[in-house]
Chains A and B, each alone.
Chain A
C-alpha cells in the first residue's frame, strides 16, 4: 500500500540552527501539507502546497519556515534559526484531492 514517508524520524538540533525535514508523498498525489503537533496538543496546520506553490498557510508559518518541492518526489520543510518552541512532531501529508494520508512524522527537538 502506498504511504507517505518522512525522514529523519528524530532530529535533534541546537537553537539557532537550520533544519530540513523531508517527505516523500504518495506518487500520484497533487496536494501536499505540513502539520505540527506539540506534545500533548492537537495537530496544527502549517502549510498546503499545490502546483509548485503555497496555496494556504497558517499564522504559524512565518518567515522562519519555507517549503520546497526540489524534484518530482520530495517535499521539504525548512526551519531557519530554530527556537526551543519549535520542538514538536512535524507531519507531512499528501492528498489526491480529498482524503489526506499522513507520514509517521519527524520528532524535532531543539536544545
Chain B
C-alpha cells in the first residue's frame, strides 16, 4: 500500500565509531537550540543545548556545534553505542520551540 508521512534521513554507524547528525534551522532570530533523542514509543529526551552566543558545547560523549552563518546545527556522538540508536531531533527556540524533521541513528554491533 501507499506509505504516508516523512521518510526520516537515516544514519547507520558501527559501534565504537563517531556519529555526526546534522540539522538546518529556519529562524535566524532563534537564540537557543536543543538536541533531543527519541526512542521508540517514548517522548523526546533532552541531550544537550546551546545558546546562540556560543558555537560549540560539549557534554559527556556529545558535542553540539552551531554555525549561525548558515543556520546549521550538528550533534557529534563519540564512540557510538547500541543504546544510542534512536531518532534525533534538533529544536530551535525563539518564542517557542520548533522541531526539525529528525534523523534515525542505527548502531550496528
CB within 8 Å of B: which residues of A? 4, 33, 35, 38-45, 48, 55-56, 91, 93, 98-105
Interface 9-residue window, one of B12-20, B54-62, B70-78, B92-100? B92-100
Cβ of B1 under 8 Å from chain A:
no
Q: Contact mask B94-109 → A, CB, 8 Å, 1/0? A: 0111111110000000
| B96 / chain A contacts, CB cutoff of 8 Å | 33, 45, 48, 55-56
For this complex, into which size category does the number of interface residues on chain B fall?
A: 20 to 34
| A4 / chain B contacts, CB cutoff of 8 Å | 43
Contact present for A101 and B46 (CB under 8 Å): yes
Cβ of B25 under 8 Å from chain A:
no
Contact present for A56 and B99 (CB under 8 Å): no
| B97 / chain A contacts, CB cutoff of 8 Å | 33, 45, 93, 100
